[in-house]
Amino acid sequence: MQPLEKLLRNQLERTIKEARDTAEEAARAALEQLGVGEATPFTHLSEQDRELRRKLRVHGRQLGDLRNDRGEQEIERLVEEVAYEHWHRMLFARFLAENNLLMYPDPDDPVAITLEECEDLAADEDAANGWELAARFAARMLPQIFRLDSPVFQLTLPPEHQQKLERLVSDLPLEVFTASDSLGWVYQFWQAKKKDEVNASEVKIGSRELPAVTQLFTEPYMVSFLLDNSLGAWWAARRLTESDLKNACSEEELRSKASIPGVPLDYLRFVQQEDGTWTPAAGTFDGWPEQLSDLKTLDPCCGSGHFLVAAFLMLVPMRMDLEDLSAREAVDAVLKENIHGLELDQRCVELAAFALALTAWKYPDAGGYRVLPELNVACSGLAISAKKEEWLALAGDDTNLRLALEELYKQFKDAPVLGSLINPEASLGKGSLFELKWEEVGPLLTKALAGEKDDERSEIGIVAKGIVKAAFLLSHKYDLVETNVPYLGVSKHHPRLLEFIEKWYTVGKYDLAMAFIERIREWIKPFGSYALVSLGEWLYLGPYAQYRKNYLEKHRPLFVLRLGWNAFSTPIRANPALLISSVDEKIGDSFSLSDCSANKSLQENMDSAIGCSVDRVSVADIRGNPDMRFITNLASDAALLNEFAEARSGLHAGDLHQFFKMHWEVEKFSWIWEPVQTAINEIARFSGREQVIRWEQEKGTLAALGKCQSNCRQKLKINE
């Protein structure tokens, strides 16, 4: 499948943004009509409406909507939930239908059904129209994504809004539902407006803001590079012979020999050793299990499932080839044994699970739609809104379950702002009395809640089950962790996030991205590895020197690719790095490093991932660089700028009009005005040579200001 072309992506973006506005307006109107936020029910409500209102209030409180002393209740979180679930149930229904996977739920023989056939059947199935019926069928197919008993779906949206939503999803072109990356863009566009609002507000980023601010679509070339040079490198090392590695003429030849149908390894990089033999640039991952059935992978910030799906599409043909499995057997095996995902936002978890399910059903010769194994994808940011005594009451008389729930309450009370940073094992500490395994807690909880009729208790139980599953994934170890870490500078951290990172990951406190690298290190098995899209600045900027020192002591870099500006197709100014590392202390001192930070366009960055030059450097080389910066051999052989020039601070935006002019604005150069060379955005003739500076032989106003600032700083030091 091909990714969405730009015009279609723009159309999808406009549609999603309009759909969110419409859906939230519809949700608010429907909830207000029922008086969900009011202290008492409207007198005209039927018994059925009163019951629905009560269930919605219970659900809203569990989401985090507060009820005051007068009985009035917020509905903001409930509005967001209703809007998201109703729109995405329709959207997923069309994804299924356009891929011949929307099934009529015949218990003996489910059959594919079209949207047109849903319209014809609507009246017989007691549905308002075909869209409602299609959405109902989709929800039945995806019980891990949509709660069939959720009061959210018992709520009917106003007809005018519902019809507009139906038009929006109907008007999207077919290509949107068959492209490879559409689902990845869906949540990005859903959160776009909220993200802009949060960034403009300059508030500290807490649980309400984190999902919008830290969501960033990971480019396909980044995913392919990281997986090809980790999982693909492991595969190539076991598929290529000594003769292949000794006699190959190029990387292309080796890729071709290592690849199999479905696993092209287009981004797998090789380097030649001193004896002329080739080896994968990131190494051969000899510490990983020899059997793929034992390989565990995790994406702890899985978003809409881009890495999960890509890893799935590599592992299925690999296991078919190695283990002589059928496509169906391999699909089920990979879902059960290899793929694991965590995400802060429950809505992203739904998208990731749907993306995995859709990919599994579409996999060639795997049998199409069927009930899949339970997906190992969970929300690490579920909120515990219940009081502690209500939470512990779920255990009944089971002492072990009560102890487990008490630990969960303590560790996950701030989950909406901490998410996958939570480490249940570390939080227990030495000497803890808690010995129950997390995988044993789920069945105990299910047994305790069997036959539960109380809505409040049922809602708490649903959250508890989700948290138990998250705790299970959070506490396990993995051979490969692959993800795009969230980026958030320390100045924007919520106080609780700041406090937590200061306690557990203080070395990475300057940015959430670095704190996550330290958390990821805890997930890795003794010989495991991780492959990340990372903040690039920490590899070279001065303020991160201490972190680089810590990194070189506790991590083992395998392949570092520094990308340049415009590495993302979305309008974000960033120069990220693609980072593959290990925690295996036995791995040698040398690693692969490519510095492509001069790239200016997306295409340049994509080309670099495939064909840039790769240097082999040692950790000792990096330690010997100024501030331990990650500089390639080619760059470090040249003389450094600080041998010839001194960088001074003081000419900031407020000084420009006083001290800088364009050269044509002065009559002639003199002791007052002298030429100055400035930084440039792109290469062109005479770029950076347009301006002059009021230098006055370093004896005028500018020098006086500098002397004044120096004296002020000196006085401050004396006063301190």
- Dump the DSSP string for 77-142: HHHHHHHHHHHHHHHHHHHHHHTT--EE--SS--EE--HHHHHHHTTTTT-SSHHHHHHHHHHHH-
pLDDT(596) > 60: yes
Dihedral angle sign, alpha carbons of residues 77, 344, 460, 376:
positive
Confidence at residue 638, expressed as pLDDT on a 0 to 100 scale: 66
pLDDT band at 588 (very low <50, low <70, confident <90, very high): confident
Confidence at residue 634, expressed as pLDDT on a 0 to 100 scale: 52
Query: What is the residue whose two structure tokens read 């060639």?
Result: 364
The type of residue at 482 is: E
* Mean per-residue pLDDT, 121-125: 92
Alpha-carbon distance of 517 to 580, in angstroms, equals: 11
Distances (CA, A) of 217 to 196, 327, 547: 16, 29, 26
Strands, E assignment, 188-317:
270-272, 278-280, 297-299
Query: What is the residue whose two structure tokens read 């799935």?
Result: 312
Alpha-carbon distance of 217 to 304, in angstroms, equals: 9
Indicate the range of 423-427, 518-522, 642-646, 708-712 predicted with least confidence: 708-712
pLDDT(719) > 70: no
Q: What CATH architecture applies to the domain 220-296+477-634?
A: 3-Layer(aba) Sandwich (3.40)
Task: Determine contact, residues 559/229, Cβ cutoff 8 Å.
Answer: yes
Look up residue 18 and give its two tokens.
Answer: 């309009």
pLDDT above 90 covers what percent of the chain? 63
Task: Determine contact, residues 332/312, Cβ cutoff 8 Å.
Answer: no
Give the phi and the psi of residue 518 in degrees, each rounded to 5: -70, -35
Confidence at residue 433, expressed as pLDDT on a 0 to 100 scale: 44
Task: Determine contact, residues 15/117, Cβ cutoff 8 Å.
Answer: no
Look up residue 523 and give its two tokens.
Answer: 């997930």
Query: What is the residue whose two structure tokens read 């995790």?
Result: 298
Query: What is the residue whose two structure tokens read 């993800």?
Result: 483
Q: For all residues of the chain together, what is the average pLDDT?
A: 89
SS3 content of the chain, % helix, strand, coil (to 5): 55, 10, 35
- Of the candidates 114, 143, 119, the one whose C-alpha atom is nearest the C-alpha of residue 130 is 119
Alpha-carbon distance of 372 to 653, in angstroms, equals: 59
What is the per-residue pLDDT across 664-716, written as a single tens digit (0 to 9) for each?
888 777 778 888 888 776 777 778 888 888 888 887 777 777 666 556 555 54
Confidence at residue 711, expressed as pLDDT on a 0 to 100 scale: 61
In Å, how far from its chain's centre is CA 484?
A: 5
* Mean per-residue pLDDT, 36-64: 94
What is the per-residue pLDDT across 439-477, written as a single tens digit (0 to 9) for each?
778 787 877 777 667 788 888 888 888 999 999 999 999
pLDDT band at 573 (very low <50, low <70, confident <90, very high): confident
- Of the candidates 194, 273, 176, 282, the one whose C-alpha atom is nearest the C-alpha of residue 232 is 282
Supply the DSSP symbol for 5.
Answer: P
Q: Where do you find CATH 3.40.50 in the chain?
A: 220-296+477-634
Q: What is the pTM of this model?
A: 0.87
Query: What is the residue whose two structure tokens read 């319209």?
Result: 119
Confidence at residue 693, expressed as pLDDT on a 0 to 100 scale: 87
